Structures are given as C-alpha cells and as structure tokens.
C-alpha cells in the first residue's frame, strides 16, 4: 500500500498540520520521506481535515430495488460526500429481517470497497409490525448487526416495541424508531397546518411524531435498553427529548440535513421532490432542530438518503414516493445550516457526523480520529468552495437541493487509508486495491 502525506490541512478546522497515512493507519509524518518514490503528496492548504463521516441512516435499496440504488452506487455516493461508513436500512426486497439478507448486504459492501457498509436489521418480520424478526440470528451473523429498525414504518404496537427493546438489551443493541403514529397520519401528505388546508392536501400533525417519541422514551426507561429516535422534525419532539435527557433517559436522537434547511413552503409547488417522511415543517421547527444539535439534545445528523426511480417522483404529489437524496450533499447542508449561523464549529461537525454515530452503531475505529495509530478514515473538505449540488453517483434523481447554491466541497476521502475520492472524483472501482475484500 502506498504512503500518503497531506501537507498543512486544518485539523478539525483548527491549527494546520501534516497528516501521514501508511498501511491504512495514521502514522507520524516524520516517519515518511516525502521524496521517496511512491509517496503521494496532497496539498492540504485551505482544506479542513475531518474524520471519515458515518451515516447511521441510509437506504441502499439492494436487494430488490436496484433500479433506484445498489450497494455499489450508494457506496460511491457516500464516498463522494465524505463518508467512510454507512448503516443500510432494512426496507429492502426481501426485507433485511434475517441473517441471510443482512450478511449479503454486508458482503456486497465489502466487495464494493468504498465504505464500511453496516446492515440494519428489521425489528419485525417483513416490517409488518406483528412478530419480531430474527434479531438473534442477525446479531450473531457475519455482519454482527447491532442496530434494528423498521424505518419507513413505525413499530406502533407497544408490546412488540417493549419486547424488541428487551431483546436487544441482552447484547447491547439499539432500536432505531421511525416515530409515526399510523392512525394519525393516514393519507397524510405534508405538514398539518394552514398550508395543508390551503393546498387541500391531507395534513401530517406534529403530535403523530411526538406521541410515539414520548411512549418509546417511557418504554426505554422501563426496559433499561437503548433507544435511538430517527429523523426528528418538530419543535415539540425536541422539547420531549430535551426533558427526557435532563432526567437521565438513555436515548439518542438524529436529525436529517433536509429538516435542518428546508421548510414546508417548498411543497406549495406540488413538486414530489419535496415529499418526505416525516414532512418538511415550519421555520420555527427548523430553528429548534438547529439549536437542539448545538446544545446536544440531538446527538447526530443522519442523511435518510432515500433514492427513488424517476417514475416515483415524476407524478402527481399525492402519488409520489416519500424520500430525498442526501449522501453527496450532507456536509454542505450542515455547513450552511449549522456552521455558518454559528451553531457548530468543525469539531462539532466531527462529533455529530462521525464519532457519535459510530458510537451509537457500535462501529470501531472512530474513537480517536486523526491520531497516530488510528485507522485512516479521513475527509478533506474545501469550505470556501461552492457546491455543485448535482448528484453524480447515485442512480436516482430525487434531489431537493437543485434550486440552491451550497457552500463547501469534499475534495478527498480516504477509507482505511485507501483513496476513494480524489480531487472531487470517485476513484474507479477497478483501481481500488481490494479494501476488506
């Protein structure tokens, strides 16, 4: 494996320093000879060095929906966005509710070689919410699944949720809940309020999310197990989580890039690109979510990258699929929504987009980022660049940011010391040196 020396990058946005990589690990720069044959030199001037990003909430669509995304295309999109690990949700076809499917997704990720693909197992068989899935088998398989979720569906049955929490508590797993009361959101299309009434679209009330969050916090406290709350979208959800954490609840929560930036006003265009679950909310919700990331009430940012084929979005709004792309642009959205207003610095970005999601997911190698002896998971971003918001590597086109100009551009990504994104371009698969294959 070649040796790599990165000159004068700003580590976590702080002082400039050299970084050296050898055999997949960070080493002391004085141990590399920059004039030696084979040593790759990268000018880090103007770039911020971050630990490789980790996404706890990705939809890779394989198996079953390869026209929208594959593990390979999703891995390339992730690397283009600065990610070195993604957790793939279970709502594939067949559903990832057995060790056979989760181990296959893990293997496809290893074969792709761009990021560490960690499968998420379903909580219930077929995501039907009626019977627990083969949790023990998935946890004991090659993929060693630690995160379980019916995302796309809420585990609405209280007893099933209790049993799931009790089960994963025996081996340190975590249940990631998609908080959506199904009865309160029947036929819902957008946020419930004056706009939904004006447009004549069925409204999606905030209480549908908040009621499930409140219930599940109580269940997590009762069982003593770990609960992770997916894609918070309302000010009321933030208030509930903040109060529970103040009382010592063992919970974590995430927010998506799109809920940090976009508002319900976009849905007035009737463009299904802006149709997402949970729906885009109002500006005061957006501001509450940003402040919650800043004060630690919300632990992480996760993309909920949800690719869809064109026919699922080029249709009437009420017939369109829920979901937006996110992997390739997440860091730019975070820069605009959290760094530019002063909610976070780059060190905070490393916390919410790398270290904490890795910790929640039980992913090793992210505890001491950018230090000698640590795995060389590295993202180099140019914060002064303007982002081309075209999605270049995913198979889908449901990009909600095409009308915006965003800051920042990921220039380089290294996964275990392997250059996966070089000067803003994905390294072709046949040029990767067989990472983890």
Residues tagged in the binding site annotation for substrate: 59-61, 91, 277, 308, 322-323
Residues tagged in the binding site annotation for Zn(2+): 57, 59, 151, 178, 231, 304
Under 8 Å between Cβ of 306 and 240:
no
CA angle 423, 425, 431 (to 5 degrees): 105
Q: In the structure encoding, which two tokens stand for residue 189, read together?
A: 């299309």
Nearest residue to 282 (alpha-carbon basis) of 258, 256, 264, 260? 264
- Selecting among 187, 304, 423, 430, the annotated active-site residue is 304
Under 8 Å between Cβ of 416 and 24:
yes
Active site includes 304? yes
- The count of other CB atoms within 10 Å of the CB of residue 78 is 35
Q: Write down how long the chain is.
A: 437
Under 8 Å between Cβ of 387 and 409:
yes
Phi, psi of 245 (to 5 degrees): -65, -35
CA–CA dist 312, 272 (Å, integer): 9
Give the CA distances from residue 216 to residues 265, 335, 368, 383, in Å, rounded to whole numbers and listed in that order: 30, 32, 32, 39
Residues tagged in the binding site annotation: 57, 59-61, 91, 151, 178, 231, 277, 304, 308, 322-323
Catalytic residue numbers, as ranges: 304
């Amino acid at each position: 494996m070649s040796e790599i020396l990165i000159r004068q990058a700003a580590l976590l946005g702080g002082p400039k320093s050299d970084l050296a990589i050898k055999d997949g690990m960070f080493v002391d720069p004085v141990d590399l000879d920059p004039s030696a044959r084979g040593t790759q030199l990268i000018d880090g001037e103007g770039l911020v060095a971050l630990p490789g990003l980790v996404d706890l909430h990705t939809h890779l669509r394989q198996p079953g929906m390869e026209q929208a995304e594959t593990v390979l295309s999703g891995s390339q999109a992730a690397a283009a966005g600065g990610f070195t690990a993604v957790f793939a949700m279970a709502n594939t076809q067949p559903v990832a509710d057995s060790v056979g499917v989760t181990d296959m997704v893990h293997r496809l990720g290893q074969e792709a070689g761009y990021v560490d693909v960690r499968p998420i197992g379903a909580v219930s068989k077929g995501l039907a919410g009626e019977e627990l899935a083969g949790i023990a088998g998935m946890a004991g398989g090659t993929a060693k699944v630690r995160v379980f979720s019916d995302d796309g569906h809420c585990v609405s049955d209280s007893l099933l949720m209790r049993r799931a929490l009790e089960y994963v508590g025996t081996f340190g797993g975590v249940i990631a809940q998609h908080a959506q009361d199904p009865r309160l959101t029947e036929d819902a299309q957008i946020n419930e309020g004056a706009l939904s009434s004006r447009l004549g679209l069925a409204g999606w009330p905030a209480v549908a999310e908040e009621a499930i969050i409140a219930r599940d916090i109580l269940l997590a406290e009762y069982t003593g197990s770990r609960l992770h709350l997916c894609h918070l979208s309302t000010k009321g959800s933030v208030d509930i989580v903040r109060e529970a954490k103040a009382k010592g609840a063992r919970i974590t929560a995430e927010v998506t890039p799109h809920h940090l930036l976009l508002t319900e006003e976009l849905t007035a265009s009737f463009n299904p690109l802006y149709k997402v679950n949970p729906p885009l909310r109002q500006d005061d919700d957006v501001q509450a979510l940003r402040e919650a990331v800043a004060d630690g009430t919300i632990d992480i940012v996760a993309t909920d990258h949800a690719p869809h084929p064109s026919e699922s979005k080029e249709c009437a709004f009420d017939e369109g699929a829920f979901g937006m792309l996110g992997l390739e642009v997440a860091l730019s959205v975070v820069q605009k929504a959290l760094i530019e207003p002063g909610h976070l610095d780059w060190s905070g970005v490393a916390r919410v987009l790398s270290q904490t999601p890795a910790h929640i997911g039980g992913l090793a190698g992210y505890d001491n980022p950018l230090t000698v002896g640590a795995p060389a998971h590295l993202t180099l971003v140019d914060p002064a660049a303007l982002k081309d918001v075209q999605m270049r590597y995913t198979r889908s086109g449901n990009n909600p940011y095409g009308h915006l100009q965003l800051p920042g551009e990921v220039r380089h990504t290294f996964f275990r010391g392997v250059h996966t994104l070089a000067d803003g371009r994905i390294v072709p698969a046949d040029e990767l040196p067989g990472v983890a294959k």
